[in-house]
A and B are shown apart, each in its own frame.
Chain A
Amino acid sequence: MSIIEAKNLRKEFRINKKKEGLSGAIINLFNPKYESKIAVNDINFSIDEGEMVGYIGANGAGKSTTIKMLTGILTPSSGEVWVNGLIPYKNRIKNNLNIGVVFGQRIQLWWDTPVIESFRLMHKIYEMPKEKYKKNLEMYTELLDLKDLLNVPVRQLSLGQKMRCEIAATFLHDPKIVYLDEPTIGLDIMVKDKIREFIKTLNKEKKTTVFLTTHDLQDIEEICKRVIIIDNGNIAYDGSLDEIKNQFGKHRIIQFKVRNINAEIDNLFEEKKDTISVIYKDGYDLHIKFNGQEITAAGVMNLVSPYCDILDLTIQEPSIESIVKDLYRK
C-alpha cells in the first residue's frame, strides 16, 4: 500500500520581476511586475511503506519545493497529495506527528540547552509513551554514539555532532516517514557513514519510509534502491538505481595532464564517437569521455599514450548532475 501519493502535483510561484538600476527600483515601487515560475510541474509518484527513495536533481530543480508540499508547509497550486492517508497542508499538525524532517541546513534542536533537553521536549510534544522514548533514546545513543554529547549545549557541538543529534531527534518518535533534505551536506566521511548505517538500520527494524534528497551519489547508492530524478520541475526518471546507472552513468571522464601532444589525437576516435571522445583539449589538459561498459580506463590510457606524454590523470565518477544532464539531453 502506498504511503505517499502525489497526483499532478504542481507549484507555481509568483515572482516579483525587478527592473535593473535605480530607476528600475523606483518603477518597481509603483508598478511591480510579477511573473509566475513553475517550480514543480504536474508530477506523479507513489511510494510504498518502507521504501527508501532518493529524490535527486540539480539545484533549483524543485526538490525542496516537493518536500515542502509533502510535509504540508507549502500548499500545492493544483493537484493532490496524500501522506499516510492525510492531506498534509490541510492536516499539518496531525501529519507532523507521523513524520520526521531533517533539513541539512537548519536545526530543530534548541540552541542553548543540552541535547538531552531537546530530546525530552520531543518526547512530550510528540506524545510518546515513556517506555518507547527510553528504549529509542538508548538505541539511538548506541547507534549514533551520542553518549558524550547528550549533556552538551547544542551551540557547542561541531557540525557532525549536531547532525548526529539532529538525526536522532528526527527518528525519536518513530515517524512512519522521514524526509531528509541533504542530511549529509558538509559532513566528513566518518559521520556520513554513521548516518547512512543508522538510516538503513532503522528502515530495516521499523519499516520507516525514507525520502532522501542529496547531491552525494554515495548517499543514494548506499541507501536507496529507487531513484526519482526531477529536472526543471518535471520528473525525468523514476525507477531503480541499478538501471539508471547502466543507462546513464556509463560515461566517465578521464582528465589527463599531458606534454608534447600530437594534433592527430583529434581524429583518433572519429569512428567510435559514442564509445570514446575528446571533450576538452588545451595546453597541458586533455579530457577524454568514454563508455565504461565498452572500454576500461586502462584501455583509454593505452589508446592515448602513443600521442602524448601522460604526466598525471584523474578519473571522474559520474555525478548526479552529469547523469541528470545526460538524461535530459535524450
Chain B
Amino acid sequence: MKIISKIKEIASMFIKQDLSYSGFTWASMAVNILGIIVTYYIWMAVYGSKTEMHGMSKNQMITYIILSGVLLSGVQWMLNLYISQLIQSGGIAMELLRPIDFQLSLFSARLGGFVSYTVIQCIPVLIVSSLIFGISPPKSVICALLFVISLLMAIGITFFIEFCVGLIAFYTNSTWGLQHMKDAILFFSTGAVIPLAFFPGWLKSIIVILPFKDIVYTPVSIYMGIVTGEQAIKAMFFQLIWLILFFFISRVFFKFAIKKITVQGG
C-alpha cells in the first residue's frame, strides 16, 4: 500500500508540474488541433470522390487518423530525453538517492504525465475535432473497455521502449540521434499516420511482426471495431507478451546500466 501511495504522490507531482505551464498547455493544444486539420484535408484529398479505400470509409478514416494522432503523442513521453538530461547534468545522483526504485519513480511520473495529457490535451482536442469533423464513438461498450486495457498496455510498452533508449545515454551520454530514430520509427510503424491496411504487402508483413503497431494501431482498431472478438483478444494477448518482454529487457538493461554509473561514476 505504501508503494501505491508513493506512485500516486509522484504522479500527482507531475500533474501539478504540467499544469504550472499554462502557456505551454494552450500552445500545444493549438498545435494538436492544427495538425488534425492538416491531416483531415490531406485525407480528404486522398479520398477525393471515393467513399471507401482499403475497406475504410471516409468517416472511419477520419476517426482513425484523429484518434491515432492524439494517441501517439499521448503514449510518448520523451522519457529518453529526460533520462539523458539526468545523466548529462549529473542529476541522476539525486534520483538514485530517493527511497524508491528509479524506474518505478519514472513510471509513476509517466502515469501522472498521461493523466494531465488526457485532461488538458486529449479530451479538449477530441471534443473540438468531433464537433468539426465528426468522430465515431467506440463500436460497442465492450470495444470501449478493451480499448482502455489495450491503451494502458500501449503506454507500458512505449514506456519500456523509451526507457531502454534513454538508458543508452548511460553509455553514450546523449541520445539525440537515437531519439529521432525512435520518433521516426514510431511515427511510421505504429500506423499512426497511415493505417496498416494502406501499406504494401511486404512492408505490412514486417510491421505486423514488430511490436510498434501495438502502440497505436492495436488500440485504435479495437476502439473502431476493425478487429473484434477473438481477433481482438489475440491482438491484446500479443500486446501483453510484448509488454512483459520489454519489461524484462528494460529491467535487465537497467541492472547493467546502473552498474556503469555506480562502478565507473558515469
Contact = CB atoms under 8 A, between A and B. Distances in A.
21 contacts: A13-B265, A72-B262, A73-B96, A74-B263, A89-B262, A93-B100, A93-B101, A94-B99, A99-B97, A106-B93, A106-B94, A107-B94, A108-B97, A110-B17, A111-B17, A112-B20, A113-B13, A113-B17, A117-B16, A125-B99, A125-B100
Interface in B56-106: 90-91, 93-94, 96-101
Nearest to B108: A125
Contact of A153 (B2, B20, B97): B20
B67 to A, nearest CB: 30
A71 B261 CA distance: 14
A25 interface: no
Nearest to B261: A73
Interface string B224-266: 0000000000000000000000000000000000010111110
A113 B109 CA distance: 14
Contact of A127 (B2, B10, B94, B97): B2
Contact of B94 (A74, A108, A113, A125): A108
Interface in B87-145: 90-91, 93-94, 96-101
Nearest to A97: B99
A73 B99 contact: no
A110 B101 contact: no
A103 B95 CA distance: 12
Given A108-B94, A125-B99, A75 B9 contact: no
A92 interface: yes
A120 interface: yes
Given A106-B90, A120-B9, A125-B6, A112 B265 contact: no
A96 B97 contact: yes
Contacts of B6: 124-125
Interface of A: 13-14, 65, 68, 71-75, 89, 92-94, 96-97, 99, 101, 103, 106-108, 110-113, 117-118, 120-121, 124-127, 153
A117 B97 CA distance: 19
Interface residues of B, number: 27
Contact of B13 (A13, A14, A75, A117): A117
B20 A101 contact: no
B17 A74 contact: no
Contact of A113 (B9, B16, B90): B16
Contacts of B262: 72-75, 89
A99 B6 CA distance: 18
B265 A113 contact: no
Given A13-B265, A121-B9, A125-B98, 13 more contacts: A14-B264, A71-B97, A73-B97, A93-B101, A103-B94, A106-B91, A106-B93, A108-B97, A117-B13, A117-B16, A121-B10, A124-B5, A124-B8
A111 B8 CA distance: 19
Nearest to A65: B265
Interface string B3-46: 00110111001001100110000000000000000000000000
